Structure 1
Amino acid sequence: MKEKAHTKSPVLVKALGLGLFLAGALQPAVAADTREYQQHHLQSGALVIDTSDSQVTLTPLNSGALEVHYQREGLKQLPSFAIAPNRNDDSAQLKSDIHAQLSVSDDALRFALGGLTAVIHKSPFAIEYQRDGESLLAEEHGFFANQTMRGFRFALQESEKLIGGGQRVLGMDRRGHRLPLYNKAHYGYTTESEQMYFGLPAVMSSNKYILLFDNSATGTMDLGASEKDVMQFEAVAGRSSYIVVAGNSYPQLIENYVDVTGRQPMPPRWALGNFASRFGYHSEQEVRGVVEKFREEDFPLDAVVLDLYWFGPDIQGHMGNLAWDNHAFPTPVEMMADFREDGVNTILVTEPFVLSTSERWDSAVASNALAKNLAGQPKQFDFYFGNTGLIDVFSEDGRDWFWNIYRDLKQQGVAGWWGDLGEPEVHPSDTVHAIGMADEIHNAYGHRWAQMLFDNEQAASPDERPFIMMRAGFPGSQRFGMIPWTGDVARSWGGLKPQVELALQMGLLGFGYTHSDLGGFADGEKFDRELYIRWLQYGVFQPVYRPHAQEHIAPEPVFHDRKTRDILREYVKLRYRLLPYNYTLAFENSQTGMPLMRPLFFENEHTLALMDNKDAYLWGNDFLVAPITEEDIDAVNVQLPGGVWFDFWNDNQYSGDAARVEVDLKTIPVLVRAGAFIPSVADMKATRDYSSAYLRLDYYAHASVQQSSGYIYEDDGVTANAFAKGQYEKLLFAGERSEAGMTFNLKRQGEGYTGAPQNRVIELVLHNWQQLPANITAGEQTIRIVDRVQQFADNTAYYDKRKNTLQVKFHWNGEPLSVSVNH
């Protein structure tokens, strides 16, 4: 081991040399003297190192993740916001299984976790990170700090690509950009934005590591912009620590990352349904009319979202009331109860600002709920909505006062929360919070707000899943059930174009439910039918289906022309039919952090060019979707990541590097992987009516796939931690080709849940099936083959030679079952 410790990788040699050169006057933020090792000791599993200017603590978080915290006397530290403080049982078990091994030589310390090794070089002091003996990442100068700035410097490898930074419109690879770290609204953005609502001080490298700067302060992340081979994080204050995570694959990397920052709990099933939302509904009568319109037009609906008119008649002057305007909403409790009876959940917008003209100003002041000015009085400032104060969610008084409002509304029947303007949108630097100044904690404001809601929801209703939609947060906010959206996007083709990029960037760093205001939010002089249809078609294959916009053009499809309604009705219904598939994606996300929308490079990790693709993505494992973001398109060239793919609409086959997919106004490119099982259920008017008692399984057969498998996860859709409680079922499907034909095996796992079907009718549909079978059996039963589709019924099969599809219908009681289709 000693000779390895003496050996420095080329990357580290380069980093150390560059660091020594830059330690002088050219880099005033960097200390002039090089850092030197002095001594070390182990403490509660962590490695603590004293150096010439700081103490460095390396804390194992799991077998592939390490927190590195530099501390210097007199340098204020804040708590970690990113690291989940209460790890779940699985994570706690993993952490207890870490056996970090320390070896010491004259030149270096090696701290090996299993999947990640830190090599600490003593002189000059620098830390290099390795996986399987290969260098992943190395400090260039490492930690620096002076009176006005602190941060870290790392060496970048020559061909390395960097994804990350959260919401930005820059292309997938952010290397070469200098990114502000200050959550900030960007109203009406289109095809370019360096600073938006939800920044993340973290990157994912093509070398399969994630580097997270656990600092909530105003800062910058320079990804090789100022110096092409240096990644530098800098901030005006905050915690001087970073977390490095490694994995052998991108999915494993993400799983290791969310094990540290927290897994997203499953949302209620209704969160995957259709939302009615606009800015905004002015009265109870209007809201009731909108819900009724969805029912009349035969559009499924699960939620209605009320913007700020629920607490005041005008946009300005009422923020902070957070109580029903009884003139416009005379019977809100009855209204919400009626909606709930119809399967529709009510979501209310709330903001953290309390105007001095609002009905609750005096109460907020008296309750010590507001952030302070430098004189210790409630801080007041002007912004668009009026003269205001800001609730201090970092103080116990502020959180208690805020939650008491939510609690009362919850008791009235509110089902979900929409937290808006939570960057905060206006946040003067001289605002004093309980744990620091505004610029120290700005980027963690939405995070702490979401935590307040989640923790109190859990305490008040421990068996229910909360719905918390917010515009800003911090790494780890996903563990509070946060559902982000991409802000006030322009209602234009330019606004639609970056939505895949934004969702992918967020999903790779924990926020798998990032979605857009479908149809676009801001401005737009007149209704563009084609744009609107294309946006809502894309919405079927993204996490939350919520059209939302300024009200001068209706965001709801039910208020548009017949052609628009007829096209989109089928898409919204498809969204509901695919609930078994989509709900299983939500389950996978809750277990491993795997995003619902996945980049194509997950399919081919060795093709770096796929990392740049921001026009297509995988929806789960088995769909490949390429939204149409330009007008008058009749064909799309779709990059393929390898394998064979079927057109979802017509079963056309594609393979190779690209596919030219023809479309019309009713279709966008949606491809299905060869060998995939796509589950679906019957139409419904709300997710409350969901049942898999009749389950359709579309199987896409191809000779290149000899074996394949899939599953769906089910529970009651509302119980918190249903999987951990054993209140679930997994339905598993497997297919295998042979010379005789194909055999499909079905089995069930889990203890079941309230409302689970005891028996199911399964309709197995084989696509790309080239001949009439000789016989079909399901267990001991022979399935009768009929020659007309009109005769297709239970325990029969029908072969459509024009479409090359075979439909087989049989009963399944949940016991292991083998279905054979023989030539």
Structure 2
Amino acid sequence: MIRKFSLLRHSFRGLLGLAALCVAVQVQSADHRDYRSHRLGEHSLTIETSDGSVTLSPLGTAALEVHYQRDGLKQLPSFAIDSSSERAPKATLDEEKDRLVYRTDGLTAVIHKSPFRIDYLRNQQPLIGEELGFFANETMRGFRFALAPQEKLLGGGERVLGMDRRGQRLPLYNRAHYGYTTESSQMYFSLPAVMSSNKYILLFDNSATGNLDLGASEEDVLQFEAVGGRTSYIIVAGDTYPQLIENYVAVTGKQPLPPRWALGNFASRFGYRTEQEVRATVDKFAEEDFPLDAVVLDLYWFGPDIKGHMGNLAWDKNAFPRPEKMMADFNERGINTILVTEPFILSTSERWDEAVANNALAKNLAGQPKRFDFYFGNTGLIDVFSEEAGDWFWNIYDGLLQQGVAGWWGDLGEPEVHPSDTVHAIGMADEIHNAYGHKWAQLLHDKQTAQYPERRPFIMMRAGFAGSQRYGMIPWTGDVAREWGGLQPQVELALSMSLLGFGYTHSDLGGFAGGEKFDRELYIRWLQYGVFQPVYRPHAQEHIASEPVFHDRRTRNITREFVKLRYRLLPYNYTLAFENSQTGMPLMRPLFFENESDSALIDYKDAYLWGDDFLVAPVTEADVDEVSVKLPGGVWFDYWNDDQYSGDLAQVDVDLETIPVLVRAGAFIPTIDDIATTRDYSSKALTLDYYAHESAPQSSAYIYEDDGTTVDAFDRGHYEKLTFTANRSDGGIDFAFDREGDGYKGMPEARTITLNIHNWQQSPASIEADGDALTLFQREKDFAAAPQGAWYDKRNDQLLVKFTWGKQPLQLAVKN
């Protein structure tokens, strides 16, 4: 029986491939398109062809939107383009006998007149070109591009297929994959976009159901297919991968800086059933000395059972008799409350009649509220594309915000069930399915920022579209299996999403689905990895506790140190969040960013960079005492013991209390002392670990500081940037400390800096701060008790220097 099923499955896959090939043959045999005329506008070029018009619109110095339009072919608005960005890119046009050449500073479109097609170049080098270009028939529309022979393609959203997705045919339909492990071609968050090893991003601005065929049906053809939607694509170029991402988010929108508490530790499970249980859990974190910043309430906040209550969107007062008091008490302790909400209103829920009366639900073909059955009951779906429905939905959220809710967890927003005959305000379900979560996030972001402009939103969702990051969307990777196979693809998923703007993609730490008994090693390994991913949120089905405070002493002791490390690293991590908000640079970065000439690194997904200076390799198998880690070049220090690694490969010893975490030679790693919540955050006492090495004679770094809550703090000047430089010579190391910005509320007037110089192998001859000699203590306890001075730790080859730094620049000289 199993073998029969396997044969049927492979036969079905074969039929899908044959269908795709038939489409390819059909479009190839169509009459070719010819140029007729053109007109050059101030910000666009429109070309009339034999079967419609094509408009090229610069969206930046290295980005173009290309919009094909044909009479009678329905168009939808752009979801991907950030319309709020101010753009005035310049472009020039040269007309030749058989072609037009349309240029911006960073991208050239060569438009061939007959047959009509467009090639793209950067710095006179080919990037990609249309093969057939645009095609459309009664049931399908899309584009075809020619691929280069050795080109690798990344992206396409959440998939577990390897980093290079070339040769794959990717379904474009956001769909839940419950309990996935090491293989998945279709998941919660698909993206109709790829990043090429040739340093371009190709994005199809189309929300409809479709496929992205990356050389699966035809080896050298990239084909996008959809059943409807907008017939446009966006091409973005860059000289480096980070620049490419920056150019991309300049078009699709930058992720706003989240509140600092978003980088703290979350208590979360499926789910807390009563107010008493939530309070006891929060108290347990305090009793066990675990920092905590947020508690996440799953669906029991609005009903006693899993089924029958979705859509109530109001507290179950039997289980939560005093929610406002509960949230206020948590807030006093620096702990934020996050509520799950879903876009489904069950016909058995308390709000069904209200939703119908307020025209909040998507319709059926007869114009009545569309009803259908799914796991949670008989339901309707809120039409987030309708302004009227959006207003009704927002009023519920606003009421909860006024009660004290701090953030939103949007679940099932693919939507998990979305019948094709559902009618939305702007189109049918299959036309807009992949943009549903995007519009939901936009609704929450735009309404909240308009009504509460001084409040940074927190919006966690598992489905969206290209550009959803501009609405503050924080995605997670869905209902992953609670087993080693669930942990293993998490780096690939996070990296693949972060390359296309979603720098906060993270996993349910510890795994969510299944698991018959507690696997201590798996759990610890997942939570260790979580320190170096964007959001720290253990979450799971409740038969095994997701919270570390409810496990055995050894598990608590190991995980406690890692959670505390997460908090100590807040100056570093918050700076990564700031960089992402400015340039789109991901918090988690693939190693090929470091060595762009090594194409093999593109496929590597066992380790990654956390910011510029950490290289992290999660342990994803049981009973491991050594991990092989590829290096992208340079010298790296073991964060735990200062062992040094160089070359192409590091063999790193581990035990249950460590995972491979390496630090770049020349790096400054800023940390603070232990705190219980991010509300206690202060850089008044700051430790800087500097990793000295002759291979890094010059290095620099900075940390970004603001109050953690002010919206647009950087643009308003309400911040500090603390900069650090080191220059090594035969005589020693000269350090410089400087700052910029107007400062922020709660900023320290002066800071106590402890500079820990690693790999220092002799007692220094002298140490001077702005020309004043610092005392070199012979005993560690004397150094610890003094307000400033130095101590040489001979056993660990470290020199510790302590001094006070006010608002003026400071020079520190350490002589051999």
TM-score norm. by structure 2 comes to 0.97
Could you tell me which of 791, 794, 816 is aligned with 1:798? 791
Q: 2:329 is aligned with what amino acid?
A: D
Q: Identify the residue that residue 521 of structure 1 maps to in structure 2.
A: 512
Q: 2:671 is aligned with what amino acid?
A: S
Shift in Å, 1:44: 2.9
2:37 pairs with 1:35: no
Indicate if the aligned counterparts of 1:294 and 1:558 stay in contact, CA closer than 8 A: yes
Indicate if the aligned counterparts of 1:379 and 1:389 stay in contact, CA closer than 8 A: yes
Q: 1:40 is aligned with what amino acid?
A: H
2:435 pairs with 1:437: no
Q: Identify the residue that residue 484 of structure 1 maps to in structure 2.
A: 475
Deviation sequence 1:723-750 (CA, Å, 0-9, x none): 0111000000000011210000000100
1:389-788 correspondence to structure 2 within 5 Å: 389-788=380-779
Output the CA distance in 1 between the equivalents of 2:707 and 2:124: 47
1:76-155 correspondence to structure 2 within 5 Å: 76-87=74-85, 92=86, 95-96=87-88, 98-155=89-146
Indicate if the aligned counterparts of 1:23 and 1:33 stay in contact, CA closer than 8 A: no
2:271 pairs with 1:280: yes
Indicate if the aligned counterparts of 1:301 and 1:686 stay in contact, CA closer than 8 A: yes
Shift in Å, 1:780: 3.0
Shift in Å, 1:432: 0.1
Deviation sequence 1:458-497 (CA, Å, 0-9, x none): 0111011010000100000000000000000000000000
Q: Identify the residue that residue 385 of structure 1 maps to in structure 2.
A: 376
Output the CA distance in 2 between the equivalents of 1:313 and 1:24: 52
Q: 1:216 is aligned with what amino acid?
A: S
Shift in Å, 1:114: 1.1
Output the CA distance in 2 between the equivalents of 1:62 and 1:746: 36
Q: 1:812 is aligned with what amino acid?
A: W
Percent sequence identity is 73
SS in 1 for 2:714: coil
SS in 1 for 2:25: coil
Shift in Å, 1:26: 6.2
Indicate if the aligned counterparts of 1:495 and 1:520 stay in contact, CA closer than 8 A: yes
Indicate if the aligned counterparts of 1:24 and 1:32 stay in contact, CA closer than 8 A: no
Q: 2:216 is aligned with what amino acid?
A: A
Could you tell me which of 188, 191, 205 is aligned with 1:200? 191
Output the CA distance in 1 between the equivalents of 2:46 and 2:81: 19
Shift in Å, 1:781: 2.0
Indicate if the aligned counterparts of 1:24 and 1:30 stay in contact, CA closer than 8 A: no
Output the CA distance in 2 between the equivalents of 1:196 and 1:398: 27
2:68 pairs with 1:70: yes
Indicate if the aligned counterparts of 2:54 and 2:66 stay in contact, CA closer than 8 A: yes
Deviation sequence 1:551-592 (CA, Å, 0-9, x none): 000000000000000001000000000000000000000000
SS in 1 for 2:207: coil
Indicate if the aligned counterparts of 1:170 and 1:193 stay in contact, CA closer than 8 A: yes
Deviation sequence 1:359-382 (CA, Å, 0-9, x none): 000000000000000000000000
Q: Identify the residue that residue 813 of structure 2 maps to in structure 1.
A: 820
Shift in Å, 1:31: 6.2
Output the CA distance in 2 between the equivalents of 1:44 and 1:68: 16
Shift in Å, 1:301: 0.1
Output the CA distance in 2 between the equivalents of 1:24 and 1:794: 77
Deviation sequence 1:275-323 (CA, Å, 0-9, x none): 0000000000000000000000000000000000000000000000000
Output the CA distance in 1 between the equivalents of 2:404 and 2:494: 31
Deviation sequence 1:168-226 (CA, Å, 0-9, x none): 00000000000000000000000000000000000000000000000000000000000
Shift in Å, 1:768: 0.3
Output the CA distance in 1 between the equivalents of 2:498 and 2:420: 30
Deviation sequence 1:633-656 (CA, Å, 0-9, x none): 000000000000000000000000
Shift in Å, 1:23: 12
Q: Identify the residue that residue 60 of structure 1 maps to in structure 2.
A: 58
Deviation sequence 1:656-706 (CA, Å, 0-9, x none): 000000000000000000000000001000000000000000000000111
SS in 1 for 2:491: helix
Could you tell me which of 318, 331, 334 is aligned with 1:340? 331
Q: Identify the residue that residue 350 of structure 1 maps to in structure 2.
A: 341
Shift in Å, 1:30: 4.9
1:253-272 correspondence to structure 2 within 5 Å: 253-272=244-263
Output the CA distance in 1 between the equivalents of 2:21 and 2:117: 13
After superposition, the CA RMSD in angstroms is 1.0
Q: 2:805 is aligned with what amino acid?
A: W
After TM superposition, the structure 1 stretch with the greater mean CA deviation from structure 2, 786-795 or 769-778, is 786-795
Change (3 A) 1:526 1:290: same
Output the CA distance in 1 between the equivalents of 2:560 and 2:43: 57
Output the CA distance in 2 between the equivalents of 1:200 and 1:99: 29
1:155-194 correspondence to structure 2 within 5 Å: 155-194=146-185
Q: Which stretches in structure 2 are left out of the alignment for 5+ residues?
A: 1-19
SS in 2 for 1:637: strand
Shift in Å, 1:45: 1.6
Q: Identify the residue that residue 15 of structure 1 maps to in structure 2.
A: none
After TM superposition, the structure 1 stretch with the greater mean CA deviation from structure 2, 36-45 or 22-31, is 22-31
Change (3 A) 1:146 1:736: same
Q: Identify the residue that residue 12 of structure 1 maps to in structure 2.
A: none
Indicate if the aligned counterparts of 1:636 and 1:663 stay in contact, CA closer than 8 A: yes
SS in 1 for 2:773: strand
Indicate if the aligned counterparts of 1:31 and 1:145 stay in contact, CA closer than 8 A: no
Consecutive aligned runs of 4 or more in structure 1 exceeding 4 Å deviation: 22-26
Indicate if the aligned counterparts of 2:44 and 2:55 stay in contact, CA closer than 8 A: yes
SS in 1 for 2:129: strand
Output the CA distance in 2 between the equivalents of 1:641 and 1:472: 33
Indicate if the aligned counterparts of 2:21 and 2:217 stay in contact, CA closer than 8 A: no
Output the CA distance in 2 between the equivalents of 1:474 and 1:616: 27
Q: 2:812 is aligned with what amino acid?
A: V
Q: Identify the residue that residue 290 of structure 1 maps to in structure 2.
A: 281
Indicate if the aligned counterparts of 1:418 and 1:469 stay in contact, CA closer than 8 A: yes
Output the CA distance in 2 between the equivalents of 1:166 and 1:267: 22
Output the CA distance in 2 between the equivalents of 1:124 and 1:540: 54
Output the CA distance in 2 between the equivalents of 1:779 and 1:60: 51
Q: 1:66 is aligned with what amino acid?
A: L
Q: 1:484 is aligned with what amino acid?
A: P
Q: 1:235 is aligned with what amino acid?
A: A
Output the CA distance in 1 between the equivalents of 2:145 and 2:113: 17
1:218-257 correspondence to structure 2 within 5 Å: 218-257=209-248
Change (3 A) 1:24 1:541: closer
Shift in Å, 1:29: 4.0
Q: 2:808 is aligned with what amino acid?
A: E
Change (3 A) 1:222 1:71: same
Output the CA distance in 1 between the equivalents of 2:403 and 2:697: 55
Q: 1:692 is aligned with what amino acid?
A: S
Q: 1:753 is aligned with what amino acid?
A: Y
